[in-house]
Structure 1
Amino acid sequence: LFCWCFYVVFFLFFFLLQSLYVKVCRENHSTLGGKNQCHNFPSAGTHCKSRPLDLVFIIDSSRSVRPTEFEKVKIFLADMVDTLEVGSDATRVAVVNYASTVKIEFLLKTHFDKAGLKAALARIKFLAAGTMTGLAIKTAMEETFTEESGSRLANKNIAKVAIIVTDGRPQDTVEEVAAAARVAGIEIYAVGVDRADMKSLRLMASLPLDEHVFYVETYGVIEKLTSKFRETLCGKRLSENACMCEAQIAFQMKMQFTIQELRENVAVFELRDS
């Protein structure tokens, strides 16, 4: 009877202690210290590892976009960069800035670290003129998604992704050039803000449209899309919660000591009982 009671109590203790370690970890405290840290992982038990991309942001800085709003777009891009694994063998990022003319701010081969990339984003200047979205897509396809500009070969199986951010109606044709870009293997996401023409966004974007067309009411809330894109661009969803993994390590260390103590106590009890 004693043995059965002992094992019941032991297993209850086992599960309660492990749950405690997970709870502590999820509250942004490390159970171990050192490199085994857990911070801000979702409690649902999954987190995302971003896949390598050749990613080009195509941003509208036409007259309809106020300078203060353009700064919010730059903050959004910087926040997006923070969610990515940036590097020559990871995600490469380029930016195409457009109004009535198109300016390639930097290429996919230019920046392979987040610090340099975010500094370059901060230096982008507002153009303030028309809205030549079709020309911007064509420029991105022909001048940034090329091997010479840092885009990787098709046999590397690196996804080519363009994210267009605009608040207006294109002053040129977008349907044909966007279709050509998609045929060339470029996945297009269209983000509309405020007065953006939804029909044009749908003509530009890849299918399915409900996964590639986004809309926000103002530039003031565009940062809400950061988490959405983090999930959308997720390459590998890790089903094992990092807190659970860390907690198990700490738990095992604790249990090794606890089990040894329990064995010694049981041995003493059995000797007395005999």
Structure 2
Amino acid sequence: MKSLFGGLLYCFSLLVVQVHGTNFRFYGYEPQRISPAIRPVQAVQNAISATGIQCKIRPLDLVLIIDSSRSVRPGEFEKVKIFISDMIDTLDIGQYATRVAVINYASTVNVEFHLKTYFNKGDMKQAVSRIKPLSTGTMSGLAIRTAMNEAYTEKAGARPLSQNISKVAVIVTDGRPQDKVQEVSAQARASGIEIYAIGVDRADMQSLRLMASTPLDEHVFYVETYGLIEKFTSQFRETLCGLDICSLETHGCEHICVSTTDSYYCKCQDGYILNEDKKTCSSLDICSLETHGCEHICVSTTDSYYCKCQDGYILNEDKKTCSSLDICSLETHGCEHICVSTTDSYYCKCQDGYILNEDKKTCLSKTPHS
């Protein structure tokens, strides 16, 4: 995931600068300059606006790490909880969508709830409302280590690497860490966690830079008061929005369009193969391949194929293999007198005094009737 949260915060910075003057600073950017990182987000928003198509939210394993040290006043901590609740409202929360965990820290660290604890917004927001400040020191490094070693484990609800779910941590602090953050933050980033650092009021900017992922100008943010932090979520949904290209008529896939996290690909219906242009499909004679699986006979159709058996055999339930059939045990063999089974088929014969007609089924008496 490329700086999704960062795009949101910069978008909002432009708005806040107009309204509040110098109360908001997006670290590393001049307020009047639009970040190149946000332009793809704007393009997506424009496409959504033009087409009326709803955006598709990327699933995340999101861990919110909040500072509740003694420097954070009770009223300010309530604003942080509103910020978290508003952020939850912007997300597609669910077992197979975005999962959220919250870590509360000061000199000690509490995992308020894990990624696997809540899969609906109502319960999650209720849990956030019950969080109490710890009101001691500021052990930011310990909080990040707890996120890495406890919150981002499969036991706690993090999805395995094979599912390619982005792991994002957002740390909010107003002070200077009382422990070392550089090494543990580097370990967390190396493990695949993307870290955003939000500083408020007295926050130490150098520490924020040591914690955050690169590029720093997309991952480090600062606001002068907790009163502004709630505004960060105003465009969060649009920033996380990845346009579902398969919902547009311009994807170009002849048969089937399959959306992925960042893009899409084309595939073909059964009986067709994707051409070199990766868009169009050509009919495939599956029976010409050794992989069709038919034991006896493969019959190609327009879109697919089917298996059949040689005479004297019947197709099994797997629709692939064949079993020998005693046709003479069936009423449909057609022999007028005697049916004789063979290994692969059968033949008809007549009783004494009769000869087999040309149809090889019926019999004619040798003795003329008087």
**Would you call these one fold, judging by a TM-score over 0.5?**
yes
Q: Is the 8 A contact 1:45 1:239 kept in 2?
A: no
The residue matched to 1:85 in structure 2 has which SS? Answer: coil
The residue matched to 2:138 in structure 1 has which SS? Answer: coil
Query: What residue in structure 2 maps to residue 143 of structure 1?
Result: 150
CA RMSD of aligned residues (A): 2.2
Q: Distance in 1 between matches of 2:176 and 2:90?
A: 29
Q: 1:48: Cα distance to partner?
A: 4.1
Q: Is the 8 A contact 1:52 1:90 kept in 2?
A: yes
Change beyond 3 A, Cα 1:186–1:192 = same
Change beyond 3 A, Cα 1:213–1:117 = same
Query: What residue in structure 2 maps to residue 99 of structure 1?
Result: 106
Q: Distance in 2 between matches of 1:128 and 1:160?
A: 28
Asked if 1:190 is matched to 2:197, the reply is yes
Larger strand proportion of the pair: 2
Aligned positions of 1:57-206 closer than 5 A:
57-206=64-213
Q: Distance in 2 between matches of 1:54 and 1:150?
A: 9
The residue matched to 1:155 in structure 2 has which SS? Answer: helix
* Residues 87-122 of structure 1: per-residue CA shift (max 9 Å, x gap): 000000000000000001000000000001000000
Q: 1:138: Cα distance to partner?
A: 0.1
* Residues 37-85 of structure 1: per-residue CA shift (max 9 Å, x gap): xxxx989548643210000000000011001000000000000000000
Q: Is the 8 A contact 1:48 1:235 kept in 2?
A: yes
* Residues 152-204 of structure 1: per-residue CA shift (max 9 Å, x gap): 00000100110000011000000000000000000001011111111111111
Larger helix proportion of the pair: 1
Q: Distance in 2 between matches of 1:68 and 1:210?
A: 29
Query: What residue in structure 1 maps to residue 242 of structure 2?
Result: 236
Q: 1:206: Cα distance to partner?
A: 0.6
Unmatched runs of 5 consecutive residues or more in structure 2: 1-44, 248-370
The TM-score, its normalising length taken from structure 2, stands at 0.52
Q: Distance in 2 between matches of 1:190 and 1:237?
A: 27
Aligned length: 201
Change beyond 3 A, Cα 1:207–1:228 = farther
The residue matched to 1:64 in structure 2 has which SS? Answer: coil
Change beyond 3 A, Cα 1:145–1:103 = same
Q: 1:147: Cα distance to partner?
A: 0.3
Q: 1:216: Cα distance to partner?
A: 1.0
Aligned positions of 1:202-217 closer than 5 A:
202-217=209-224
Q: 1:225: Cα distance to partner?
A: 1.1
Q: Is the 8 A contact 1:55 1:162 kept in 2?
A: yes
- The amino acid across from 1:204 in the alignment is M
Change beyond 3 A, Cα 1:228–1:172 = farther
Q: Distance in 1 between matches of 2:192 and 2:246?
A: 32
> Looking at CA atoms only, which structure, 1 or 2, has the larger radius of gyration?
2
Q: Distance in 2 between matches of 1:73 and 1:126?
A: 11
The residue matched to 2:170 in structure 1 has which SS? Answer: strand
Higher mean alpha-carbon deviation, 41-50 vs 207-216, is at 41-50
- The amino acid across from 1:206 in the alignment is S
- The percentage of counterpart residues that share the same residue type is 68
Change beyond 3 A, Cα 1:115–1:194 = same
